[in-house]
Amino acid sequence: MAVHNATGHYHHGDLGNALLQAAEQLLQEWGVGGFSLRDVARVAGVSHAAPYRHFRDKAALLRALAGRGFERLRAALAAAAAGQRGPEQSLIEATRIYVYTAVQNPGMTRLMFGGVIDAEEDVGCARAQAAVLDVLAGIIRAGLQVGAFRDRDPQELALVAWSTLHGLALLAGSAQLDVDPDDTAQLEAVVRSVAQNILYGISRS
Amino acid sequence: MAVHNATGHYHHGDLGNALLQAAEQLLQEWGVGGFSLRDVARVAGVSHAAPYRHFRDKAALLRALAGRGFERLRAALAAAAAGQRGPEQSLIEATRIYVYTAVQNPGMTRLMFGGVIDAEEDVGCARAQAAVLDVLAGIIRAGLQVGAFRDRDPQELALVAWSTLHGLALLAGSAQLDVDPDDTAQLEAVVRSVAQNILYGISRS
DNA sequence: ACCTGAACACCGTTCAAGT
DNA sequence: ACCTGAACACCGTTCAAGT
């Protein structure tokens, strides 16, 4: 077992993880542009050169962090979509998850969707991002199969649903849409009207 | 008339403007995070300290640049929305403008909508941003007045329309949506399906 | 009034050296 | 194998000095 940095020269055995945790803390506290790689190392209690043993550069660390965000969002979406009465309800729940996640974690939202990272540069990150989309696409496919949605190109339906959720998430995650993270009634109203709008667009009849 | 920097020590009389032009060129070429304030000064042909006579800091220059983007988008939207047969057609044209603008100028789009700047810090920028929204809100109001849209809260209708356009613009302006800027047919398909979706949601019957 | 050049505190990244 | 500390080229910002 390695010696802790405060008492010796080596960090514990899982610095990669510790760096990601430190980075997430700084992301929440200071936003995407508000911290440096040196800050991350500082918070993790290692020298500013140590992160380079675990990540190729700062962008790689940010991609890994975004990958975690994508995976969490995917899991939350999948859990919310499952066990609903039908694809329409699943879509409403997915919208709710998107909005709440964005409002409660604006920094991570901006990191994931604000064009800060290039997910394609990292296989894991790209896969995690694609998996988020897959949940949405799965809901669309299920709706088409049971005849709940308009018989159009699934990709077309997914695009409009995705655009709307994406836009709402970024608006909610920035100061542009002034929602109070604790005002449940307001959040519910936003979820309802936006989800309703998507459903009007893609539901049959 | 001031002496040009290449031949003397002073720049021409409109360095503020020249800096914004240089910044826009770099924004198009290298993206939001791809250039420094010192690069801007370099391209404009002045010392790296000169910009501080015209902008409080780098963020202020970026806000001024985004303000130009907002104003241009507003003008394009207003021109496209005017002289249409009805509010539905205006909304479709507005969607077209949004998509084309975003695809053709991804850097500016990300600067305007990607959470890079805080528009509220600059009165002009905030006003220009609000004016973009006002065009959208105007279309909604017009539609409500002639009874074309559902009799719901105008703000609610504007939110769903805005979310969708916003999301689409950011998707189109990032690598996430792989649209070819020169593939008109593909762009038209995107515009049609997304605009249609918004209209399904807000149109009466 | 407007711009320059030196200066300062920072940053991302590299690398020889330590254990 | 993993981490440190010095080093390098950069950056944003400030400020005395020049015209």
Give the domain CATH number at A71.
Answer: 1.10.357.10
- Across all strands, nucleotide nearest B9 (CA–C1'): C3
Structural domains of chain B, count: 2
The answer to whether residues A45 and A95 belong to one domain is no
The answer to whether residues A29 and A114 belong to one domain is no
Residue range A148-162: mean pLDDT, rounded: 90
3-state secondary structure of B183: coil
The answer to whether residues B108 and B193 belong to one domain is yes
State pTM to two decimals: 0.92
The answer to whether residues A92 and A190 belong to one domain is yes
**Residues 68-107, chain B: which have Cβ within 8 Å of A?**
none
Cβ–Cβ gap A159/B177 under 8 Å = yes
Residue range B177-183: mean pLDDT, rounded: 85
Residue B163 contacts residue A194 (beta carbons within 8 Å): yes
Residue B149 phi/psi, 5-degree rounding, is -110, 160
Q: Does the CB of B126 sit below 7 A from strand C? A: no
**Smallest CA–CA separation between B200 and chain A, in Å?**
5
Q: Which of chain A's residues have a Cβ under 8 Å away from the Cβ of B98?
A: none
Return the percentage of chain A with pLDDT > 90, whole number. 77
Please say which residue of A53, A70, A88 terminates a domain.
Answer: A53
- In strand D, the nucleotides that come within 7 Å of a protein beta carbon are 2-7, 10-16, 19
The answer to whether residues B41 and B88 belong to one domain is no
Q: Which of chain A's residues have a Cβ under 8 Å away from the Cβ of B32?
A: 115
The answer to whether residues A63 and A118 belong to one domain is yes
Residue A11 phi/psi, 5-degree rounding, is -85, 165
- Across all strands, nucleotide nearest A38 (CA–C1'): C11
**Smallest CA–CA separation between A174 and chain B, in Å?**
6
**How many CB atoms are closer than 10 A to CB B24?**
18
**Residues 112-151, chain B: which have Cβ within 8 Å of A?**
113-116, 118-120
The residue type at B66: A
The answer to whether residues A117 and A27 belong to one domain is no
Q: pLDDT at position B173, please?
A: 82
**Smallest CA–CA separation between A73 and chain B, in Å?**
17
Residue range B148-164: mean pLDDT, rounded: 90
- CATH number, position A15: 1.10.10.60
Q: pLDDT at position A4, please?
A: 37
**Residues 40-69, chain A: which have Cβ within 8 Å of B?**
none
The answer to whether residues B123 and B26 belong to one domain is no
Cβ–Cβ gap A200/B201 under 8 Å = yes
Q: pLDDT at position A179, please?
A: 83
Q: Closest Cα to residue A202, out of A95, A109, A102? A: A95
- Among the ranges given (A178-182, A195-199, B104-108, B183-187), the one the predictor scored with the smallest mean pLDDT: A178-182
The answer to whether residues B36 and B66 belong to one domain is no
Q: pLDDT at position A148, please?
A: 95
**Domain range for residue B28?**
3-53
Strand C close residues, chain A 11-70, CB < 7 angstroms: 36-39, 48-49, 52, 57-59
Distance A64 CA to C7 C1' (A): 38
Q: pLDDT at position B16, please?
A: 95
Q: Which of chain A's residues have a Cβ under 8 Å away from the Cβ of B163?
A: 164, 167-168, 171, 194
Q: pLDDT at position A10, please?
A: 54
Residue of A110, A153, A197, A205 for testing the chain B interface, max B β-carbons within 10 Å: A197
- pLDDT band at residue B11, thresholds of 50, 70 and 90? low
Q: pLDDT at position A174, please?
A: 83
- Across all strands, nucleotide nearest A60 (CA–C1'): C12
3-state secondary structure of B90: helix
The answer to whether residues A160 and A178 belong to one domain is yes
Chain A's closest residue to B203, CA to CA, is A200
The answer to whether residues B122 and B163 belong to one domain is yes
The answer to whether residues B15 and B92 belong to one domain is no
- Among the ranges given (A4-8, B109-113, B181-185), the one the predictor scored with the smallest mean pLDDT: A4-8
pLDDT at residue A180 tops 50: yes
pLDDT at residue B2 tops 60: no
Q: pLDDT at position A12, please?
A: 65
- In strand C, the nucleotides that come within 7 Å of a protein beta carbon are 2-7, 10-16, 19
Q: pLDDT at position B174, please?
A: 82
Residue range A102-122: mean pLDDT, rounded: 95
Tokens standing for residue B84? 């249409």
With a CB cutoff of 8 Å and minimum separation 6, the contacts of B155 are none
Residue range B69-78: mean pLDDT, rounded: 98
Buried b (16+ CB within 10 A) or exposed e, B97-119: bbbbbbbebbbbbbbbbbbbbeb
**Smallest CA–CA separation between B8 and chain A, in Å?**
38
- pLDDT band at residue B10, thresholds of 50, 70 and 90? low
Cβ–Cβ gap A170/B174 under 8 Å = no
